[in-house]
């Protein structure tokens, strides 16, 4: 049986499900790949318009070569009730994807580029806040909200990183609207994520007439790829993926250059330091005489270890779920998130978006019934957090 407050919030949200879906449709049908700044900025305009009527002040922060970051703020009456809401506007899909497979709903599932990661979470947040406002929630009146939506999360947030520490310093807690797990669980621990670029150099030559004059950079890279991949250790939770390799121009030319993009996932900073040292050793080791190599990159997203603040936030979400008759669990994941940038600074909870699966693929989907359910859960969570942390 729903609590009285849960019933009030659901009663406001349920008749507005179609409005929530229309907002989500508008977001999904606007391409916003990370390298499409104009598209990302148009998504920012949609979101700015959606929260302006709720009294938010909008600030746009230039994102260098990427789209602008959106910071929306609304002051509350309680100085120690400050909540930071994190989301990203960019997707992994290039311009033109929305036209080729636009938003649609079939058999209770919504599909389209970025529908789950994470435009569903952005739309859900807007309506959770509207529900608090429309039902005269003390949490709406007392809480100072900041919505930080960045434009470059899918490539490690290179231009938005400074914003997270700055905003965390001004807030008491943070929530992240990344998708819930397929079973509805939220996220309480994430791996650290590193992105590295390896280049090998050799000497070009005719592969038939004078191959002995060449130094094959791809051959050198092949040795290094094997050594890099061999560092994967599933027991430690350490994974290395050489996901992109480029090199050469013609099969009859000894290649003088090759490049590889490497993804690293680790559970701890200590493990990151160990693997980083191994990366550098592999880069320095020569297999093909005369070849050289250069390694660049870093662990740009730190590991997030479950801490006391996260456990407290999970407790608030569990209580909110009980009011709605929903059982909530907290899980760990190897995926990265900007929540890792603030979790060691202020209490943080992630995975508060809608339920779905197959992110970063053409099969990505959102379970449509989860939109209202998760919006209600989020609204009740904010109320629980507000009252449970009150003196």
d(CA 131, CA 188): 26
Lookup: tokens for 174: 């943070």
What does the angle CA 349 – CA 69 – CA 193 come to, to the nearest 5 degrees? 50
Q: Are 263 and 240 in contact (CB under 8 A)?
A: yes
Upstream peptide bond of 118 is cis (omega within 30 degrees of 0): yes
What pLDDT, on a 0 to 100 scale, did the predictor assign at position 391?
Answer: 41
pLDDT in tens, 30-54: 999 999 999 999 999 999 999 998 9
d(CA 294, CA 296): 7
d(CA 61, CA 151): 10
What residue ranges of the chain are covered by domains with CATH 3.40.630.10? Answer: 4-190+304-388
pLDDT in tens, 139-198: 999 999 999 999 999 998 999 999 999 999 999 999 999 999 999 999 999 999 999 999
Judge whether residue 347 has pLDDT over 60.
yes
Q: State mean pLDDT over 190-217.
A: 97
d(CA 255, CA 130): 59
Q: pLDDT class for 79, splitting at 50, 70, 90?
A: confident
What pLDDT, on a 0 to 100 scale, did the predictor assign at position 64?
Answer: 75
* DSSP secondary structure of 267-321: SSHHHHHHHHHHHHHHHH--SSTT-EEEEEEEEEE--B---HHHHHHHHHHHHHH
Total Cβ atoms within 10 A of residue 88: 30
Over pLDDT 70: what percentage of the chain?
Answer: 99
Residues sharing a CB contact under 8 Å with residue 284, sequence separation 6 or more, in sequence order: 293
Q: pLDDT class for 9, splitting at 50, 70, 90?
A: very high
Lookup: tokens for 245: 């390799």
Q: Exposed e or buried b for every residue in 135-167, given b needs 16+ CB within 10 A? A: bebbbbebbbbbbbbbbbbbebbebbbebbeeb
What pLDDT, on a 0 to 100 scale, did the predictor assign at position 161?
Answer: 93
Q: What is the three-class DSSP state of 53?
A: coil
What pLDDT, on a 0 to 100 scale, did the predictor assign at position 1?
Answer: 54
pLDDT in tens, 16-25: 999 999 999 9
What pLDDT, on a 0 to 100 scale, did the predictor assign at position 342?
Answer: 96
Strand 257-266 and strand 239-247: the pairing is antiparallel
Q: State mean pLDDT over 221-227.
A: 98
pLDDT in tens, 270-314: 999 999 999 999 999 999 999 999 999 999 999 999 999 999 999
Domain 192-301, CATH 1.10.1300.10 — does that match? no
- Find the Cα–Cα–Cα–Cα dihedral 10, 320, 74, 90, rounded to 10°: -90
Q: Are 140 and 133 in contact (CB under 8 A)?
A: yes
pLDDT in tens, 123-138: 999 999 999 999 999 9
What residue ranges of the chain are covered by domains with CATH 3.30.70.360? Answer: 192-301
Q: What angle, 0 to 180 degrees and rounded to 10, lies between the N-to-C axes of helices 120-134 and 37-52?
A: 10
Distances 90 to 103, 140, 156, 348, 371 between C-alpha atoms, Å: 16, 28, 11, 22, 20
- CATH code of the region 4-190+304-388: 3.40.630.10
Q: State mean pLDDT over 193-218.
A: 97
């Amino acid at each position: 049986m729903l609590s009285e407050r849960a019933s009030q919030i659901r009663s406001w949200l349920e008749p507005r499900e179609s409005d929530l879906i229309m907002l989500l449709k508008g977001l999904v049908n606007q391409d916003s790949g990370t390298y499409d700044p104009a598209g990302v900025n148009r998504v920012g305009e949609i979101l700015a318009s959606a929260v302006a009527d709720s009294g938010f002040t909008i600030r746009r922060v230039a994102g260098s070569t990427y789209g602008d970051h959106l910071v929306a703020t609304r002051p509350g009456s309680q100085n120690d009730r400050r909540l930071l809401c994190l989301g990203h506007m960019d997707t992994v899909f290039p311009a033109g994807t929305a036209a080729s497979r636009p938003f649609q709903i079939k058999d209770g599932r919504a599909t389209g580029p970025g529908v789950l990661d994470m435009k569903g979470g952005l739309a859900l947040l807007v309506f959770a806040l509207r529900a608090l406002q429309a039902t005269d929630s003390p949490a709406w009146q007392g809480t100072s909200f900041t919505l930080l939506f960045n434009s470059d999360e899918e490539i490690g947030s290179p231009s938005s990183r400074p914003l997270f520490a700055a905003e965390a310093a001004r807030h008491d807690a943070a929530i992240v609207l990344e998708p819930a797990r397929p079973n509805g669980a939220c996220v309480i621990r994430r791996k650290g994520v590193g992105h590295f670029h390896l280049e090998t150099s050799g000497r070009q030559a005719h592969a038939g007439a004078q191959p002995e004059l060449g130094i094959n950079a791809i051959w050198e890279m092949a040795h290094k790829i094997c050594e890099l991949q061999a560092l994967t250790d599933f027991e430690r939770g350490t994974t290395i993926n050489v996901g992109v390799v480029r090199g050469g121009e013609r099969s009859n030319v000894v290649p003088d250059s090759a490049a590889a993009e490497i993804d690293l996932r680790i559970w701890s900073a200590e493990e990151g330091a160990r693997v980083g040292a191994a990366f550098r050793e592999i880069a320095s080791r020569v297999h093909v005489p005369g070849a050289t190599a250069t390694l660049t990159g870093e662990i740009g997203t730190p590991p997030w270890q479950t801490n006391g603040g996260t456990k407290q936030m999970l407790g608030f979400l569990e209580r909110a779920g009980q009011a709605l008759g929903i059982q909530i669990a907290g899980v760990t994941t190897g995926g990265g998130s900007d929540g890792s940038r603030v979790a060691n600074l202020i209490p943080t909870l992630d995975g508060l978006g809608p339920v779905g699966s197959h992110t970063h693929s053409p099969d990505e989907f959102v379970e449509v019934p989860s939109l209202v359910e998760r919006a209600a859960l989020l609204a009740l969570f904010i109320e629980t957090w507000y009252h449970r942390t009150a003196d």
